[in-house]
Amino acid sequence: MSWEPPTNRDDFDRIWLSWLPTIAEGTDFVFAIRQQHDGNFLGLAGLHRVRNASAELGIWIREDFHKQRFGREAVGLVARWASLALGIERFTYPVAEQNYSSRRIAESLGGVIVERRDTPKYMSVIYQIPNQSALDREQKM
């Protein structure tokens, strides 16, 4: 995670309000992840900078719901949608080098490491994930 979680509701309100201009411009999308059977909030999936050559995928899942494949499902669905609806050819997916669960998400989508970065909080790896519409066609064959 490249940011610190907000300490209170007012702090979180300032964060999500800052997302609105890029959402309105159509360059970023933030999706709520909810359980199907009860609507329980599980986290957020993001698609950022969609007008760049390589849009960026992101995920945050509540800690009490880690290791249940919600992150994999959410990132996969966002990437598939963006590939088909927006024609995104490839995605970047930054992740902390030690976050093996998140790294497995990228690798399950065909992601390969293309860069390493030293950030203020941790060493990160940047995956490049291919367009998911081609992978969808291959799975149907």
pLDDT on residue 4: 61
Q: Is 120 domain-assigned?
A: yes
pLDDT on residue 141: 45
Lowest mean pLDDT, pick from 4-8, 29-33, 59-63: 4-8
Instruction: Give the Cα separation of 58 and 47 in Å (integer).
Output: 6
Domain coverage including residue 56: 9-140
pLDDT tens-digit series, residues 79-129: 999 999 999 999 999 999 999 999 999 999 999 999 999 988 889 999 999
Q: Is 1 domain-assigned?
A: no
Give yes or no for a contact between 54 and 90, defined as CB atoms under 8 angstroms apart.
Answer: yes
Give yes or no for a contact between 110 and 129, defined as CB atoms under 8 angstroms apart.
Answer: yes
Instruction: Give the Cα separation of 112 and 133 in Å (integer).
Output: 17
pLDDT on residue 36: 92
Determine if residue 7 is left, alpha or beta; phi over 0 gives left, psi from -120 to 50 gives alpha, anything else beta. alpha
Read off the CATH number of the domain in which 42 is found: 3.40.630.30
Number of compact structural domains in the chain:
1
pLDDT on residue 112: 97
Q: Is 55 domain-assigned?
A: yes
Q: Is 4 domain-assigned?
A: no
Q: Describe the chain by its helix, strand, coil percentages, rounded to 5.
A: 40, 30, 30
Give yes or no for a contact between 29 and 91, defined as CB atoms under 8 angstroms apart.
Answer: no
pTM: 0.84
What is the distance of C-alpha 112 from the center of its chain?
Answer: 15
pLDDT on residue 1: 44
